[in-house]
Chains A and B, each alone.
Chain A
Amino acid sequence: MTIRARLLIVIPLLVLAANAMIFFLFRSSTLVQGGYDRMLNRILAYKQAVQASDQSLQSLYDYLLDPGPELKAEMTRRSDALRRSGESLRQLGQPPAIVPQATGYMHLIDTLADQERYAAEASATPKEALERYESAEKTADFIREEGQRLVDIDLGVDQPILREIQQENKRMTRLGIAVVAVQTALGVCLALWVSRSVTEPVGRLVRLARHVSEGGTPKELYGAQAQAEAQARAKDELGILTEAFLQMIASLNEAAVRDKERLERERFVKELELRALQGQIQPHFLFNSLNVLSKLALLEGAERTSDLIVSMSRLIRYRLRKLDEPVTLRDELDHVREYAAIQQARFGSLVRFETKIDEAALTAKLPALTVQPLVENAFVHGIADMEAGAEIRLAVVREGSDAVIEVSDNGAGMDEATRRALLRLDYEPAEASREEEKRSESASMSAGLGTRNVFRRLQLFTGRSDAVEIRSAPGQGTTFKIRIPMTFKEEPVDVPLVDRG
């Protein structure tokens, strides 16, 4: 039930109940009052009839003593008044219990009126008139007697009922007080209930909002959230509000996670750039020197040396590229070849470097210096200790929408722990660099940025966790498998690019 509906039901119901009670009280008091009024009116009417009969009889007597038009008019007036009093009695009506007696009374009045008229008609003969007057007088006596009796009967009939009504009224008043008391209590409870249904969820929302804005501990936040979630299940306005609020928090959290990831990537790229900058001067100097050396070697007729120096210089040039800009697989593979040429010059026939390239996959884009470090790793760690028969294989194939690059050697291989460590996803720059230092000490050779770096970059680049696969066992050689999508989705990177020209 919505809060609005609750209010719309509760308030009119309470008002209705109160009004109904007032109406009932008013109505019953009106009824009782009406009963009293009618009874009083009836009693007055009985008495009035008695009075009218006496007066009409008196005026008849006066007329009979002195028959004249004036007194006759007076007598007629009185007689009419008597008939009217009977008529008014008839109109008032009586309670069922006294209808027979009242009917008799009305008949008495009629009889008297008739007798009076009869007597008046005989006014010419006084003796006859007096006789008739006497019978009218008798009837008037009856009227007096019956009038009193009717009053007594009416009171006798009505009194017990009125007393009972009074008692009922008293009971009703007591009940009314109880009803008002209970109704007030109910009203207060309902008011509290409705207001609680507003203030409680609002309070909870406020707490939750405070937690969110102050960045409270996750535990607190979780508690408040759980309460709010329970609240959200209520189907009122505040439930809906809470639900919306919770959704907002959820999307806020999501956005925060995305933000954190992006920040990490940016920081990572920055770090790489910093490293690159550190090594900037040296490569430039080296690059220039190498050009001079290659020319000199050519002049001195050492063509092979010159070629190697050229390869060397290309290698360096490639490495001076912007690291966050993806390159085509073709460029990366060219670079690998230059590197392999130099390495082969070193190892000679000790190492066999084989490539098997699927041209269709060469357009795929990937971060620069991702395949070369793997090949370098194979040269430096994989087969370094082998006396003969070392083999390094580079294979590129297209698998559906992916390009798959495999770098394998048949060298020392690695144990499971090392393999796991390499694949560890979370990146700790400080630790990584320390490891790198250690490794560079132990391996004596520059291992570039390290394979782990490569993996991390590939994962960030492709956004998938299956980008890198390592198959290896001690003494069984190592195979790195990289999987990159053929189509590269450019993601905006708002890191200011540093020109390292």
Chain B
Amino acid sequence: MAEIENKVVEMDEVVIRFSGDSGDGMQLTGTLFSDTAAHTGNDLATFPDFPAEIRAPHNTVAGVSGFQVHFGSAKIHTSGDLCDVLIAMNPASLKANLRFAKKGSTIITDVDSFEEKAMEKAGYAANPLEDGSLSDYIVVKAPIRMLTREAVKELGLDAKSADKSKNMFTLGMLLFMFSKEMTYTHKFLEVKFKKNPTVVEANKRVLAAGFNYAETVEAIKSTVSKVPAAKMPKGKYRSITGNTATAWGLMAASEKSGRQLFLGSYPITPATEILMELSKHRNLGVKTFQAEDEIAGVTSAIGACFAGSLGITTTSGPGFSLKSEALGLAVITELPLVVVNVQRSGPSTGMPTKSEQGDLLQALYGRNGEAPMLIIAASSPVDCFYAAFETARFALEHMTPAILLTDGYIGFGSELFQIPKMDDLPAIVPPIAAPNSDYKPYRRDENTLARQWAIPGTEGLRHRIGGLEKTDVFGQVSTDAQNHEKMTYLRNEKVMRIAERLPEQEIFGEPEGDLLVVSWGGTRGFVRSAVEKLQKEGKKVGHAHFRYIMPLPKNTRQVLSAYKKVVVAELNAGQFVKYLRINFPEITFKEFNKVQGQPFTVIELTDKFNQLLQED
């Protein structure tokens, strides 16, 4: 074979999957690599894949922790399907993650960890690095443990301390592979270990050792690549996860409306991060109340709403079920409660760390009586910020409880967030009743139908509300037949009228064509990538991604009628499609459903769409 010139290949996008034992520091390595890529102008999205077990046994498949980053020179919509580079720090992580590696991809392993006992624990009968089973991949067998110890020998570190820096070796290799500098990591180490210069030095040496080692490996040297900077809008950026973005969006709504933020919540995967994030911000007057259960979480938030706060409760599926009765109370008392449901696989406890879109029908219909609520679904980690802000804004201005649906995938995933200015976000003006005004609890604004918010402590507004049906305008307890029917329709109409303020539903693609792909919530990135791919191939495919579920945008019927065929793709057994069929019975909907606790892949979507395009 002729010698290959050592040249840098330009690539549009790359997916790297970091995996190792829980203690191998793969989350940090992945984050540092991602941050380096972000600082050098790449767009990206990440997703951590950690085990549900807190400290699963060492070197077992159950104890493997993963982190995937997808970075590129164009807009990145997802954390990627299959990876171009897989880091496997031990046999178990290779075992658990090989299925995520593209054929022909590079697998970097720490060959020193492929000891008999570790391979046995991972379930390998023979050494996969030697038995030819990886012949479809470029396997780099790096003696990472040995070279790491070597690199720090002069610093007098013992083997155990030295091994803690192994992840820096891997990071160094990757930085070389993708033509990135080590400066960002240097700065990070200097800040992180400010009090321990030896540790800083050790990590820097290991990082450099990895970087230099990569240059000597033929398989790497020949494929050094560079992903040019993406053309992103000018501005200031940061990286943010969906759950943090949700917390911040709610805080932004609190600041804009001048209403104190009260969160009543009970820890539940994958929503707990929102409670943890909000708990940090006492400095901004945020009041978090870790309740004794899900019911106390929501009812305390309802109490706070009654008292004039932006009352919020955060949860996931099983907790959402427990809150159902209280949501009805928020509907009938017409208070601006915000419920965040970070959806996970169900039913019951299901698969807590896995994502699904299974709670849509519950959000729409899961309460006794006629109990409509505003429902908005966030479509990406960054969109969690804006969707949370908007959910709170409409709840406050229209005096209705509202549900924000996100999911575990976008909750844990991260994206680059162009930092908004608070001045650029819309004002939020809740209809607060003036002191000593002629207040009636259920008198409504003639346009929005919102009732006024009379806050306890205000002079001249004493009144009573509650779970019993009340008379229109006056708010007296009533079982009058006509009044109940009137109030039922008023509560519904109030929510429906929010559609007047929603932007029109857009179609990504031509105004008409052969196949319209409909999706909602956290799947936007995958579906958009698939549609873009087909459009580039010249196919007449469009994408309508719904953020507003209840009410639907006003032009929804028009959008759904614009293409010859409509397919609804969602991560459940067909819930949004049922809702659309109820509302638009004249339209024929095809379905593409997946209920595996995993996101869509672009490949399976394009396959399905191609198949639908070919069918009569």
- B is a partner of A: no
Using CB atoms and an 8 Å cutoff, list the residues of chain B in contact with chain A: none
Binding site for B on A (CB under 8 A): none
